[in-house]
Amino acid sequence: MDISLRAFRFEQDYPVVIDLWNRCGPGVQVRKSDDPEEIQKKLTRDPDLFIIAEHQGRVIGTVLGGFDGRRGMIYHLAVEPGFRVHGVGGMLMQEVEARLLRRGCLKAYLLVTNENEEVIPFYEKRGWSEMKMHMLGKNLS
Report in angstroms how near the CB of residue 140 gets to ligand COA at its nearest.
23
Contact (CB, 8 A) for 74 and 64? yes
Kindly state whether residue 95 participates in binding ligand COA, applying the rule CB under 6 A: no
Kindly state whether residue 100 participates in binding ligand COA, applying the rule CB under 6 A: no
Closest CA to 18 of 74, 58, 76: 76
CB crowding 8-32: b at 16 or more within 10 Å, else e = beeeebeeebeebbeebeeebbeee
Kindly state whether residue 16 participates in binding ligand COA, applying the rule CB under 6 A: no
Q: Segment 29-88, which members bind ligand COA (CB under 6 A)?
A: 77-79, 84-88
How many Cβ atoms from other residues are within 10 Å of residue 102's Cβ?
9
Report in angstroms how near the CB of residue 72 gets to ligand COA at its nearest.
15
Q: Site residues (CB under 6 A) for ligand COA?
A: 24-25, 27-28, 77-79, 84-90, 112, 116, 118-119, 121-122, 125
